[in-house]
Structure 1
Amino acid sequence: MNNPTVECALLAALVAKHGWGTPIGREQLLSVAAVESHELDRADEVFDELGEKPYLTSSHG
């Protein structure tokens, strides 16, 4: 992912709306994320990329 602003906006919205509860759908997440209209295509791509990543990662060996 080469646009951390879009990634951070989606993750912030996900944490705020989803927490550890019911999953949030693509359209709902994109509608509440602080993403500018010209970034929506990239946000859609980032949504898919985030879905492919593990929930927790560790930078410690």
Structure 2
Amino acid sequence: MGASRMFKDEERLLERAIQAVRRFHEARDYSAPREEVERLKDEAEAMMKELSAFQMDALERIIPKA
């Protein structure tokens, strides 16, 4: 995967993660039902983990191993 594509993929994933976190905070702030808040929290956490894994993989591809 080229660097340009990798950055575009990361931008899309980052945007999805930000939106998931935003939905969670909005639901929590506006007193949505507990089950909905928990579902959105789980979704946000999963998206952040996916983003983190993607970034770690990207770093491993561009930083030479010693």
- Fold shared by both chains (TM-score > 0.5): no
TM-score, scaled to structure 2: 0.33
More helix by share: 2
TM-score, scaled to structure 1: 0.35
